[in-house]
A and B are shown apart, each in its own frame.
Chain A
Amino acid sequence: MMESFCASYQLLTLHGGVVRVPFLVRGQVVPPPQIEPAEIEAAFARAESDAVHVTLPGAQVLRLPLIDRTMRRITAGWRYLLMPSIRPPDLIELDLDALACGPYALPADAGAVYLETLIHAITDNLPLVARVIELERAISELPEALLNAAFVAFAAGLDGQAARRMLDAELSLWNIPGSRFLEEWVEVPGTPLADPAAITGRAITPAAPAAPTLIRATPTRQLHITAGNAPGIPIISALRMLLTRSVGVIKLPAGAILPGALLALAAASAAPDHLLTRHLSVVYWPGGDESVEQVLFAPGAFDRIIVWGAPGAVASVQARAAFTRTITFNPRYGVLLVGREAFDNLEDVVLRAAQDTLIYNQKACNAAFVHYVEGDPSQVTMYAEALRAALSRWDELAPQVVPPAVRGQVRRMRRGRYVAAGWHLNERDGEYESGVIVVDDEFDMLDHPLFRLAVVRPVTRLEDALTFLSQAVSTTGIYPEERRLGLRDRIAARGVSNILPLGQCERAYAGMPHDGMVVLSELVDWKNG
Chain B
Amino acid sequence: MSVDTLAELRTLQLELIALACRWALRQPYDPEHARRRRQRALLLAHDHYRAHVPAYRRLAHQEQIGALDTLTPIIERMMSTDDLFKSYRQQWLDDGDFAAMTGWIAELHHRPLQIDVAGVTTIDDWIERLEAADVRPVYSSGTSGTFSFVPRDVAGLARVRTASASYLLPQLLYDRIGGPLERTLTRLAARLLAPAPFERLLRAISPRSYDGVFLDFRHGRTGMQAIGREAAPVFRRRSFLYDSNLSAATLRSVARGPRTARDRENLERLHTETIVNREANFNRVLDRMRDSVADGRKVFIFGVPFQLKDLCEHALRSAREVRLRDGSMVLFGGGWKSYTGERIPRADLMQLVHDALGIPEVRVIEGYSMTEINVMMVRCVHGRFHVPPIIEPVVFDEALAPLQGADLRGTIGFLDPLATAYPGFVISGDTVRMVDGPCPCGLVGPAVTEISRAARREVKGCGGVMASLRA
Assess whether A408 is in contact with B468, with CB atoms less than 8 Å apart.
no
Assess whether A445 is in contact with B471, with CB atoms less than 8 Å apart.
yes
In the bound complex, what is the Cα–Cα distance between A375 and B222 (angstroms)?
A: 39
Contacts of B427 in A (CB 8 A): 412, 415
Q: A310 at the A/B interface (Cβ < 8 Å)? A: yes
Size category, B interface: 35 or more
In the bound complex, what is the Cα–Cα distance between A287 and B396 (angstroms)?
A: 29
Closest chain A residue, CB of each to CB of B469: A445
Q: A284 at the A/B interface (Cβ < 8 Å)? A: no
Interface locus among B310-318, B373-381, B452-460? B452-460
Contacts of B144 in A (CB 8 A): 444, 446
Closest chain B residue, CB of each to CB of A333: B461
Contacts of A413 in B (CB 8 A): 83
Contacts of A419 in B (CB 8 A): 55, 59, 80, 84, 87
Q: B194 at the A/B interface (Cβ < 8 Å)? A: no
| Residue among A331, A404, A405 making CB contact with B464, cutoff 8 Å | A331
Q: A353 at the A/B interface (Cβ < 8 Å)? A: no
Nearest Cβ in chain A — how far from B142, in angstroms?
9
Contacts of B457 in A (CB 8 A): 405, 409, 446-450
Nearest Cβ in chain A — how far from B426, in angstroms?
9
Q: B465 at the A/B interface (Cβ < 8 Å)? A: yes
In the bound complex, what is the Cα–Cα distance between A327 and B396 (angstroms)?
A: 40
Assess whether A415 is in contact with B469, with CB atoms less than 8 Å apart.
no
Interface locus among B284-292, B397-405, B441-449? B397-405
- Number of residues of chain A lying within 8 A (CB) of chain B: 57
Query: Restricting to A399-417, which residues have a CB under 8 Å from any CB of B?
Result: 403-405, 407-409, 411-413, 415-417
Nearest Cβ in chain B — how far from A452, in angstroms?
13
**Given A364-B461, A417-B86, A417-B87, A445–B397 Cβ distance below 8 Å?**
no
Assess whether B398 is in contact with A310, with CB atoms less than 8 Å apart.
no
Q: A114 at the A/B interface (Cβ < 8 Å)? A: no
Q: A329 at the A/B interface (Cβ < 8 Å)? A: yes
Assess whether B469 is in contact with A412, with CB atoms less than 8 Å apart.
no
Q: A235 at the A/B interface (Cβ < 8 Å)? A: no
What is the count of residue pairs linking A and B with beta-carbon distances less than 8 angstroms?
162
Interface locus among A84-92, A99-107, A435-443, A490-498? A435-443
Assess whether B80 is in contact with A415, with CB atoms less than 8 Å apart.
yes
Assess whether B398 is in contact with A405, with CB atoms less than 8 Å apart.
yes
Q: B185 at the A/B interface (Cβ < 8 Å)? A: no
Nearest Cβ in chain B — how far from A407, in angstroms?
5
In the bound complex, what is the Cα–Cα distance between A150 and B387 (angstroms)?
A: 50
Closest chain A residue, CB of each to CB of B91: A441
Nearest Cβ in chain B — how far from A266, in angstroms?
24
In the bound complex, what is the Cα–Cα distance between A311 and B470 (angstroms)?
A: 16
Proximity string of chain A (383-403) to chain B, C-beta cutoff 8 Å, 1 when within and 0 when not: 000000000000000000001
Assess whether A331 is in contact with B400, with CB atoms less than 8 Å apart.
no
Query: Restricting to A313-329, which residues have a CB under 8 Å from any CB of B?
Result: 313-314, 328-329
| Residue among B83, B398, B462, B470 making CB contact with A308, cutoff 8 Å | B462
Closest chain A residue, CB of each to CB of B465: A310
Proximity string of chain A (12-31) to chain B, C-beta cutoff 8 Å, 1 when within and 0 when not: 00000000000000000000
Closest chain A residue, CB of each to CB of B464: A310
Contacts of A310 in B (CB 8 A): 459, 463-466
Query: Restricting to B111-143, which residues have a CB under 8 Å from any CB of A?
Result: none
**Given A333-B460, A472-B466, A441–B398 Cβ distance below 8 Å?**
no
Closest chain B residue, CB of each to CB of A450: B460
Q: B89 at the A/B interface (Cβ < 8 Å)? A: yes
Interface locus among A116-124, A157-165, A225-233, A238-246? A225-233
Nearest Cβ in chain A — how far from B254, in angstroms?
17
Q: B81 at the A/B interface (Cβ < 8 Å)? A: yes
Q: B99 at the A/B interface (Cβ < 8 Å)? A: no
**Given A310-B465, A474-B461, A416–B87 Cβ distance below 8 Å?**
yes
Nearest Cβ in chain B — how far from A504, in angstroms?
18
Query: Restricting to A291-320, which residues have a CB under 8 Å from any CB of B?
Result: 307-314
Contacts of A479 in B (CB 8 A): none
Contacts of B471 in A (CB 8 A): 333, 335, 369-370, 442-445, 455, 457, 468
Q: A35 at the A/B interface (Cβ < 8 Å)? A: no
Nearest Cβ in chain A — how far from B85, in angstroms?
9
In the bound complex, what is the Cα–Cα distance between A441 and B460 (angstroms)?
A: 21
Assess whether A441 is in contact with B89, with CB atoms less than 8 Å apart.
yes
Assess whether A415 is in contact with B79, with CB atoms less than 8 Å apart.
yes
Q: A180 at the A/B interface (Cβ < 8 Å)? A: no
In the bound complex, what is the Cα–Cα distance between A386 and B268 (angstroms)?
A: 50
| Residue among B83, B401, B456 making CB contact with A417, cutoff 8 Å | B83
Contacts of A457 in B (CB 8 A): 471
Q: B82 at the A/B interface (Cβ < 8 Å)? A: yes
Closest chain B residue, CB of each to CB of A473: B471
Closest chain A residue, CB of each to CB of B86: A417
Assess whether A331 is in contact with B461, with CB atoms less than 8 Å apart.
yes
Q: A521 at the A/B interface (Cβ < 8 Å)? A: no
Contacts of B462 in A (CB 8 A): 227, 229-230, 233, 308, 329, 331-332, 363-365
Proximity string of chain A (417-435) to chain B, C-beta cutoff 8 Å, 1 when within and 0 when not: 1111000000000000000
| Residue among B83, B86, B401, B466 making CB contact with A333, cutoff 8 Å | B466
Nearest Cβ in chain B — how far from A81, in angstroms?
19
Q: B369 at the A/B interface (Cβ < 8 Å)? A: no
Q: B146 at the A/B interface (Cβ < 8 Å)? A: yes
Q: B467 at the A/B interface (Cβ < 8 Å)? A: yes
Proximity string of chain B (408-427) to chain A, C-beta cutoff 8 Å, 1 when within and 0 when not: 01010000000000000001
Contacts of A470 in B (CB 8 A): 469
Closest chain A residue, CB of each to CB of B468: A446
| Residue among B84, B87, B400, B461 making CB contact with A408, cutoff 8 Å | B400
Interface residues of B (CB under 8 A from A): 55, 59, 79-84, 86-91, 144, 146, 396-401, 409, 411, 427, 456-471
For the complex of A and B, 6 pairs with smallest distance between CB atoms: A310-B464, A416-B83, A416-B81, A404-B399, A417-B83, A441-B89
- Pairs across A and B, CB under 8 Å, 23 listed: A49-B409, A309-B463, A310-B465, A311-B465, A333-B460, A363-B462, A369-B460, A408-B400, A415-B79, A415-B427, A416-B84, A416-B87, A419-B80, A419-B87, A441-B88, A442-B91, A443-B471, A444-B144, A445-B470, A446-B456, A446-B465, A448-B460, A457-B471
Extra pairs beyond A313-B463, A416-B87 (18, CB < 8 Å): A229-B461, A308-B462, A309-B463, A310-B466, A313-B464, A363-B462, A408-B411, A409-B457, A411-B399, A412-B81, A415-B427, A417-B83, A419-B80, A442-B90, A444-B468, A444-B471, A446-B456, A446-B457
